[in-house]
A = this chain, B = another copy of it.
Amino acid sequence: MDPGPDLRHRVRETTLTVAGPGGSPLGEAEVTVEQVSPALAIGNIGFDLIPLANGETVLDPAEVETFGGASVEQLEQLGELFVQVFDTATLPFYWGRFEPVRGRPDTERLRRTAQWFTDRGVRLKGHPLVWHTVTAPWLRDLPTDEVERVQRERIRRDVGDFAGLIDTWDAINEAVIMPVFDKEENGISRLCRERGRIATVRMAFEEARAANPDATLLLNDFDMSTAYECLVEGVLAAGVQVDVLGLQSHMHQGYWGEEKTHAILERFSRYGLPIHMTETTLLSGDLMPAHIEDLNDWQVEHWPSTPEGEARQADEVVRHYRTLAAHPSVQAITYWGITDDGAWLGAPAGLVRADGTPKPAFEALRDLVRRDWWLPPTTTRTDADGRLTVRAWAGDYRVSTREGAADVRVGDTAHAVVGVRAGRPGPPTGRVAG
């Protein structure tokens, strides 16, 4: 397998020793190796699928997320399309939607949704624990000390409730603009203004870490300017343990292009942290005018997906994902919208049309990820000592034999032992120091 010089660092080699349920190596055995989860996570929002996971047949308008609310009739098919491309789903924890009435969080519905994805091998991320937009409206009436107290409690509660199901979180979203955001009075901007950005970031990370020490915690922002660099440097200098930098990329005003994308990755990889491209959109219709500063300000009646736009989107999705995968710091790429139905701002940003049919970008992304990058299910034989060398797109693989199956990580170590067993494979096993 050779995905080209830019992507060679994504391909790794691990020699497996396949052992049977009794522990002895399975020499000269027929083995099928199949990628189940890549080291480079390919995600999308799972917002639309909450009703499906909960068996809801009618949408209660009050319960619908502000976006990502596709019609119920299409959900079954959307769910099938989702898992054809995406191995990771972002679930919505916008406080104002999750707990519109204080003390009545939407925990069970989100838990069933998380379980639905987990059952299908899809990993999860929660978004966001602290944000000034779509935050709980009832914070407005609380004094700032109380806002801080309930914000801390909310983080501990939700991160703790979902530990094991959701172990990756946007700990805080858009802290650069947070204290000076003036479009809507809210408790979180006030908290951040009075405490400072770094204290607010620290609060988010400390509470989330305490509730789930194994969690991967992100600082996430849309601001790709020096402002975000300065925030990152300040947060790190203050000793806050950030696991991953999240970079949004809502390209409603046009594709960034390879050069700008690479330059941004270079600037933000200086800190030695992994990068997640957390919110990626590319339109298949007219672009938003360049003079709009806050994307939320662009309100149009009708924003159709067009044939020319769909061809452009398919081309740009492939170019963009290749550029991102080529950068060694990128560990996850999450697209922001499976369907145009109920999409943010009504924009034709989905990979599926409002009528439920896949756009060319869907097919192009599926081919790129699952055909060009992933190792297809491959049947081969172990040698006399039960060994087998897998050189493939780094990530977790399922090794199946007549004796049973097991999952194993390819890429972390030079050698690994895979102990197959009958029944459903557990998480990757047998990692040894390479």
Interface residues of A (CB under 8 A from B): 176-177, 179-180, 193, 196-199, 223, 225-231, 233-235, 237-238, 267, 270
Contact of A231 among B180, B196, B199, B234 (CB under 8 A): B234
Looking across the interface, which residue of chain B has its beta carbon closest to that of A202? B237
B197 touches A233 (CB 8 A): yes
Which residue among A177, A198, A230, A267 has the maximum number of chain B CB atoms within 10 Å of its CB?
A: A230
Q: Which residues on the B side are within 8 Å of A228 (C-beta)?
A: 230
A234 touches B227 (CB 8 A): no
Given known contacts A237-B196, A237-B237, is B226 in contact with A176 (CB within 8 Å)? yes
Identical chains in the assembly: 2
In angstroms, Cα B267 to Cα A177, docked, is 12
Q: Which residues on the B side are within 8 Å of A176 (C-beta)?
A: 226, 230
In angstroms, Cα B250 to Cα A6, docked, is 44
Q: Which residues on the B side are within 8 Å of A198 (C-beta)?
A: 233-234, 237
In angstroms, Cα B236 to Cα A199, docked, is 11
Looking across the interface, which residue of chain B has its beta carbon closest to that of A177? B226
Chain A contact residues: helix, strand, loop or mixed: helix
Contact of A234 among B223, B230, B270 (CB under 8 A): B230
B267 touches A197 (CB 8 A): no
Given contacts A197-B233, A198-B237, A234-B238, 17 further A-B contacts (CB under 8 A): A179-B229, A180-B229, A196-B233, A196-B237, A198-B233, A199-B237, A226-B227, A227-B227, A227-B229, A227-B230, A228-B230, A230-B231, A231-B233, A234-B234, A234-B237, A237-B237, A238-B238
Q: Which residues on the B side are within 8 Å of A223 (C-beta)?
A: 226
In angstroms, Cα B237 to Cα A187, docked, is 23
Q: Which residues on the B side are within 8 Å of A197 (C-beta)?
A: 229-230, 233
Q: Which residues on the B side are within 8 Å of A235 (C-beta)?
A: 234
Which residue among A223, A226, A228, A235 has the maximum number of chain B CB atoms within 10 Å of its CB?
A: A226
Contact of A233 among B225, B234, B267 (CB under 8 A): B234
Q: Which residues on the B side are within 8 Å of A179 (C-beta)?
A: 229
Q: Which residues on the B side are within 8 Å of A233 (C-beta)?
A: 196-198, 231, 234
In angstroms, Cα B196 to Cα A104, docked, is 44
In angstroms, Cα B233 to Cα A11, docked, is 41
In angstroms, Cα B240 to Cα A234, docked, is 11
Looking across the interface, which residue of chain B has its beta carbon closest to that of A223? B226
Which residue among A193, A231, A233, A235 has the maximum number of chain B CB atoms within 10 Å of its CB?
A: A233
In angstroms, Cα B179 to Cα A138, docked, is 42
In angstroms, how far is the closest chain B Cβ from the Cβ of A181? 10
Q: Which residues on the B side are within 8 Å of A177 (C-beta)?
A: 226
Q: Name 13 interchain pairs, CB-CB below 8 A, sorted by A.
A: A177-B226, A193-B270, A197-B230, A198-B233, A198-B237, A199-B237, A223-B226, A227-B229, A230-B234, A231-B234, A234-B237, A237-B238, A238-B238
Looking across the interface, which residue of chain B has its beta carbon closest to that of A225? B227
In angstroms, how far is the closest chain B Cβ from the Cβ of A172? 13
In angstroms, Cα B232 to Cα A146, docked, is 27
Q: Which residues on the B side are within 8 Å of A226 (C-beta)?
A: 176-177, 180, 223, 227
Q: Which residues on the B side are within 8 Å of A229 (C-beta)?
A: 179-180, 197, 227
Q: Which residues on the B side are within 8 Å of A199 (C-beta)?
A: 237
In angstroms, Cα B382 to Cα A99, docked, is 71
Looking across the interface, which residue of chain B has its beta carbon closest to that of A266? B180
In angstroms, Cα B73 to Cα A245, docked, is 58
In angstroms, Cα B71 to Cα A17, docked, is 84
In angstroms, how far is the closest chain B Cβ from the Cβ of A76? 44
In angstroms, Cα B107 to Cα A293, docked, is 48
In angstroms, how far is the closest chain B Cβ from the Cβ of A386? 48
Which residue among A179, A193, A198, A234 has the maximum number of chain B CB atoms within 10 Å of its CB?
A: A234
Which residue among A198, A228, A267 has the maximum number of chain B CB atoms within 10 Å of its CB?
A: A198
In angstroms, Cα B233 to Cα A193, docked, is 11
In angstroms, Cα B267 to Cα A122, docked, is 44
